[in-house]
Amino acid sequence: MDGIPVSNRAASIEYAIRDVVVPANELEKKGFELIKLNIGDPLSYPGLPTPEHMVEAFKQALERQDNGYGPSYGIEPLRAEIAKDEFSKGWNCSSEDVYVTHGVTEALQILFAAFLQDGDTVLAPGPHYPPYMAYPQMYGATTVEYALNPDDGWSIEVEDIRRKMNESVRFIVLINPNNPTGNVATESEIKEVLEIAKKWPNCTIIADEIYDGLDFSGGQKSIASLSSDVPVVTLNGVSKVHFAPGWRIGYMAFHDPNGKMHAPRDGVERLLRSRLCASTPAQHGYLAALQQDRTWLSERVAKIKRRVDLCLNRIHEIDGLSCNSPGGAFYLFPKIENAGKFKSDKNFVLDLLHKEHVLVVHGSGFSPLHGSGHFRMVALAPEEILNEAFDRIERFMRSV
């Protein structure tokens, strides 16, 4: 007897970062202990907790029963504080430009629903965070990848963007620092992309800056701050830089220098009202993060940088692997030099999982074209765990 069919839009969605957890869970059920380097969740590893002043503000909101429905666009003190933070990065942001969401993923869904029509195109970097490929198709649009150059530290291939621009392109996505490569775009690269977008009046920049505070290069720039005539929607939130991913609080901030986004912003606001609100007590926790001292972050960034450097050193010592040095975030995207020994990079990941019980993510899950032959790993675990993981990876590489 036939069952109820699934929609095409749901059946076609893949999310490699969590898809690889399915076989990992089966191994854990059999009693195997795994080293998991697949998900960018700081709370999964010792020594990187959510700061106490944030937790306390969350708790206080609960204790005073400030956990009812909040305003659909976010509580006003948080919107104002986010605007102040964005203003400090070099552009004229006001609280009315800010909308608080259930993480950046909900912000993306709302943006795509408000801006995209059948036949539209989203230009996203290859490789990229998987929802940039999965979500546009739900609204009748298509994602087209522009290349990042692995031979130049995953820099943006600006000419590839230029070749792929046409009237259908509604968004150019810039993820800065990039997930999964860790590349930080230079100011000149960003300005070149803005110059391209300027020539297409229906094009908006999505500036995904969720890792902006985890910058090792010293060169990370707010994209909105560099745009005098191209609309930019900045995405950010509490999950990565403030070490509270499970709170699911993100935001989008609209920079509209020529007043062209009135209609889609009205659509955004309608969608936000229809889904009620983001978590009220979690917003109070994020408010404390922005209002109180953030000097603690420099110590965290230094700790993460040490772990990234450890990973790079270990990768360079293993025959068959190579890796660009990331400029930010907490990921590495090693290349499997002898990838031909495996059916695919996914097979590499699954073989490593089953033979050595180390879990990473196949690079093709971030782009079948530009990520193939790589894997992504997270550098958040303590040094002793990372060293054990690389002992196993090295043993695995010698065995193939």
Q: How many Å apart are CA 297 and CA 247, to the nearest integer?
A: 18
The domain of 276 spans 52-291
* Shared domain check, 42 and 163: no
Q: How many Å apart are CA 85 and CA 109, to the nearest integer?
A: 24
* Shared domain check, 332 and 189: no
Tokens 């649009």 sit at which residue?
A: 141
* Shared domain check, 109 and 216: yes
CB atoms under 10 Å from CB of 226, counted, come to 18
* Shared domain check, 344 and 287: no
Strand partners, 335: 322, 374
Band of residue 11 on the pLDDT scale cut at 50, 70, 90? low
Q: How many Å apart are CA 357 and CA 27, to the nearest integer?
A: 8
342 assigned to some structural domain? yes
337 assigned to some structural domain? yes
Per the structure, how many domains does the chain have? 2
Coil vs helix vs strand at 217: coil
Band of residue 111 on the pLDDT scale cut at 50, 70, 90? very high
* Shared domain check, 159 and 122: yes
Q: Where are the beta strands (DSSP E) in the chain?
A: 35-36, 98-101, 121-126, 142-149, 155-156, 169-175, 204-208, 232-237, 250-255, 321-322, 331-332, 335-336, 358-359, 361-362, 375-378
User: CATH number, domain at 315?
Assistant: 3.90.1150.10
* Shared domain check, 140 and 80: yes
* Shared domain check, 336 and 193: no
* Shared domain check, 321 and 268: no
* Shared domain check, 227 and 206: yes
User: CATH number, domain at 223?
Assistant: 3.40.640.10
Q: What is the pLDDT of residue 16?
A: 55
Average pLDDT, the chain: 93
Q: What is the pLDDT of residue 19?
A: 73
Position 368 pLDDT exceeds 70: yes
Q: What is the pLDDT of residue 341?
A: 80
Tens of pLDDT, residues 205-243: 999 999 999 999 999 999 999 999 999 999 999 999 999
**Of residues 3 and 374, which shows the higher confidence score?**
374
From the list 395, 379, 24, the residue with the least C-alpha distance to 211 is 379
Band of residue 39 on the pLDDT scale cut at 50, 70, 90? confident
* Shared domain check, 326 and 227: no
User: How would you class 4 by CB atoms within 10 Å of its CB: exposed for 0-12, middle for 13-18, buried for 19 or more?
Assistant: exposed
Which whole number is the average pLDDT over 139-152? 95
Output the six-digit token pair for 113.
């629903």
What is the pTM (predicted TM-score) of this model?
Answer: 0.93
Size (the chain), residues = 400
What sections of 165-295 are H helices per DSSP? Answer: 187-198, 262-274, 280-291
* Shared domain check, 163 and 301: no
Question: For the stretch 12-33, what's the b/e string if a residue is b when 16 or more beta carbons lie within 10 angstroms of its beta carbon?
Answer: eeeebbeebbeebeeeeeeeee
1 assigned to some structural domain? no
Tens of pLDDT, residues 299-352: 999 999 999 999 999 999 999 999 999 999 999 999 999 767 888 899 999 999
Band of residue 14 on the pLDDT scale cut at 50, 70, 90? low
Tens of pLDDT, residues 158-186: 999 999 999 999 999 999 999 999 999 99
* End position of a domain, from candidates 235, 266, 291: 291
* End position of a domain, from candidates 269, 291, 313: 291
2 assigned to some structural domain? no
Q: What is the pLDDT of residue 17?
A: 59
* Shared domain check, 142 and 35: no
284 assigned to some structural domain? yes
Band of residue 13 on the pLDDT scale cut at 50, 70, 90? low
* End position of a domain, from candidates 224, 256, 291: 291
> Could you tell me if residue 127 is left (phi over 0), alpha (psi between -120 and 50 degrees) or otherwise beta?
beta
27 assigned to some structural domain? yes
Q: What is the pLDDT of residue 15?
A: 57
